[in-house]
């Protein structure tokens, strides 16, 4: 018996070592692919065609800046046009070296006040006008965004060879809409219509499909939808169960590498809650609590390793190749803000929740009505005693923990998007509590 236990322990250690090795290989392989893609994008795209389509896009950008601020002021949809212009600037900036551009993401900027009330308007003249019309002027300087891969800028550079900005936006939005319809349909098929409604309500709470029109806020939504599509397509396959941690590892890698750090928890929270509902659907008896908790913990850690590992690899590569790592550690400390009081940290939660109920409280009534509908469903159809609600609740608290710890990051208006995870968890819990044979 002792020899068999030793053999089992040895085999377990070998399997663990093999999984760690495979995970590390995936992490390094993905980052190597990002590096090669970015070098290709900055070397292969014809500069003249990219520049021409960016110039054609100036009218679209001006229309954005002059649009009615109604939606923006109510926090229902708060695009960051300034950073959209930075990504366009990076994509269209003529590279002196494709390798250096891939590593440091240089962009041109002239003197100007783009931190005041007219920040977006001023950014147009500080970023895009000098890029296109007087890049060699004395007041134009080169800045970098080396702390990110921002694969989006490479994608934009290639798309600008053929399309202008409004066409690129429409392409991204159509992709998001297609993915959302597919994901909602698969959820209705596998779990029931009430679960698909919970997803729709979560997307509605932060107008996530609308946020795809802004380049800055689009990527987290698209990565999340792609992750949900993969999960709902492959969940019942044995290969997925065996490799689920690699799935979350890759989501973390993509979350950091494709876009900037806007609403990263979307890419973890929504797929993990959905997986918990899939695992709990049709349970005849309670599962072992420690096993379920371990699954949540390991999935979260795998995602974090993919996210943080990609950040470290990018910083090391950028420092080694171009001598510019983007001050990643300084930015991280800025997000932590160690001196912030606990009271101010909790205040940020209310600030983010305010965005969930915008515009002007109208959405609050709709969300309350939806919740009342689920409660009525439970009252009429009965309470489901065996469910995944406790585990979903744990993941639903992730955005609150994020806001308390990373208070500097959560003070930005766009971080309210991660609270779609809270809304999703709330309505998924109501769906789990209702009778399993209804809807």
Closest CA to 72 of 165, 210, 259, 205: 210
User: What phi, psi does 79 have (nearest 5°)?
Assistant: -70, 150
Task: Tell the burial category of 8 from Cβ atoms under 10 Å away from its Cβ (0-12, 13-18, 19+).
Answer: exposed
Q: At what angle do helices 193-205 and 165-190 cross, to 10 degrees?
A: 150
Is-contact 399 265, C-beta < 8 A? yes
Residue 95 is given by DSSP the state P
Per-residue pLDDT of 274-299, as tens digits, reads 999 998 765 445 567 788 889 999 99
Question: How confident is the model over 322-340, as a mean pLDDT?
Answer: 75
Is-contact 191 281, C-beta < 8 A? yes
pLDDT recorded at residue 428: 92
Domain-embedded: residue 4: no
Task: Compute the residue count for the chain.
Answer: 439
Identify the band that residue 368 occupies on the pLDDT scale cut at 50, 70 and 90: confident
Per-residue pLDDT of 390-428, as tens digits, reads 899 999 999 999 999 988 888 777 888 999 999 999 999
Domain-embedded: residue 8: no
Domain-embedded: residue 411: yes
Q: Find the range with the poorest average confidence among 103-112, 212-221, 365-374, 398-407.
A: 365-374
Domain-embedded: residue 222: yes
Helix (H/G/I), strand (E/B), else coil: 386: coil
Domain-embedded: residue 357: yes
Domain-embedded: residue 58: no
Mean pLDDT, all residues of the chain: 85
Sign for the CA dihedral angle at 29, 301, 325, 348 comes to positive
Helix (H/G/I), strand (E/B), else coil: 141: strand
Domain-embedded: residue 13: no
pLDDT recorded at residue 1: 45
For 293, the domain range is 189-433
- Taking every pair of Cα atoms in the chain, the longest distance, rounded to a whole number of angstroms, is 80
Helical H segments across 259-288, by residue range: 266-280
Identify the band that residue 224 occupies on the pLDDT scale cut at 50, 70 and 90: very high
Asked whether the predicted pLDDT for residue 7 surpasses 50, the reply is no
Q: What is the DSSP string of 212-264?
A: TTSHHHHHHHHHHHHHHHHHHHHTTSHHHHHTHHHHHHHHHHHHHHHS-SSST
Question: How confident is the model over 360-378, as a mean pLDDT?
Answer: 71
Asked whether the predicted pLDDT for residue 2 surpasses 60, the reply is no
Cis? peptide before 359, omega within 30° of 0: yes
Sign for the CA dihedral angle at 179, 180, 185, 187 comes to positive
Element holding 107 (H helix, E strand): strand 106-110
What is the spatial distance between Cα 96 and Cα 89, in angstroms, rounded to a whole number?
15
pLDDT recorded at residue 284: 43
Is-contact 436 280, C-beta < 8 A? no
User: What is the tally of structural domains in the chain?
Assistant: 1
Question: How confident is the model over 40-55, as a mean pLDDT?
Answer: 94
Domain-embedded: residue 11: no
Q: What Å distances lie between residue 227 and 182, 230, 234, CA to CA?
A: 12, 5, 11
């Amino acid at each position: 018996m002792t020899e068999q236990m030793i053999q089992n322990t040895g085999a377990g250690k070998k399997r663990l070592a093999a999984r760690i090795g495979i995970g590390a290989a995936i992490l390094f392989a993905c980052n190597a692919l990002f590096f090669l893609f970015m070098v290709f994008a900055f070397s292969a795209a014809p500069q003249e065609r990219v520049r021409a389509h960016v110039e054609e896009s100036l009218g679209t950008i001006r229309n954005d800046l002059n649009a009615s601020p109604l939606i923006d002021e109510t926090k229902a949809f708060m695009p960051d046009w300034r950073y959209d212009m930075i990504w366009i600037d990076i994509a269209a900036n003529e590279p002196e070296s494709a390798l250096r551009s891939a590593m440091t993401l240089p962009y041109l900027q002239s003197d100007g006040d783009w931190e005041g009330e007219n920040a977006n308007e001023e950014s147009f003249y500080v970023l895009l006008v000098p890029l296109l019309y007087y890049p060699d002027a004395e007041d134009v300087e080169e800045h970098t965004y080396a702390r990110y891969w921002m694969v989006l800028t490479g994608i934009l550079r290639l798309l600008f060879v053929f399309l202008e900005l409004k066409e690129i936006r429409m392409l991204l939005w159509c992709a998001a809409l297609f993915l959302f319809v597919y994901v909602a349909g698969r959820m209705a098929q596998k779990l029931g219509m009430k679960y698909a409604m919970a997803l729709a309500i979560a997307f509605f709470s932060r107008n996530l499909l609308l946020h795809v029109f802004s380049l800055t806020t689009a990527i987290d939504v698209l990565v999340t939808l792609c992750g949900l599509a993969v999960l709902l397509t492959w969940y019942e396959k044995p290969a997925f169960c065996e490799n689920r941690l690699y799935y979350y590892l890759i989501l973390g890698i993509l979350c950091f590498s494709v876009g900037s750090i806007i609403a990263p928890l979307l890419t973890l929270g929504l797929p993990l809650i959905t997986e918990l509902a899939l695992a709990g659907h049709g349970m005849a008896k309670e599962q072992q609590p420690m096993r379920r908790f371990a699954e949540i913990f390991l999935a979260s850690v795998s995602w974090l390793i993919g996210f943080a590992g990609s950040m470290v690899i990018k910083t090391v590569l950028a420092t080694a190749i171009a001598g510019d790592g983007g001050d990643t550690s300084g930015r991280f400390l800025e997000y932590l803000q160690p001196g912030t009081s606990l009271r101010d940290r909790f205040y940020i939660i209310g600030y983010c929740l305010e965005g969930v109920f915008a515009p002007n409280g109208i959405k609050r009534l709709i969300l309350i009505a939806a919740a009342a509908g689920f409660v009525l469903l439970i009252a009429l159809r009965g309470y489901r005693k065996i469910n995944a609600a406790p585990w979903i609740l744990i993941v639903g608290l992730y955005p609150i923990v994020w806001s308390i710890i990373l208070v500097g990051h959560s003070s930005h208006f766009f971080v309210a998007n991660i609270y779609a995870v809270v809304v999703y968890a709330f309505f998924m819990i109501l769906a789990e509590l209702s009778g399993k044979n209804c809807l």
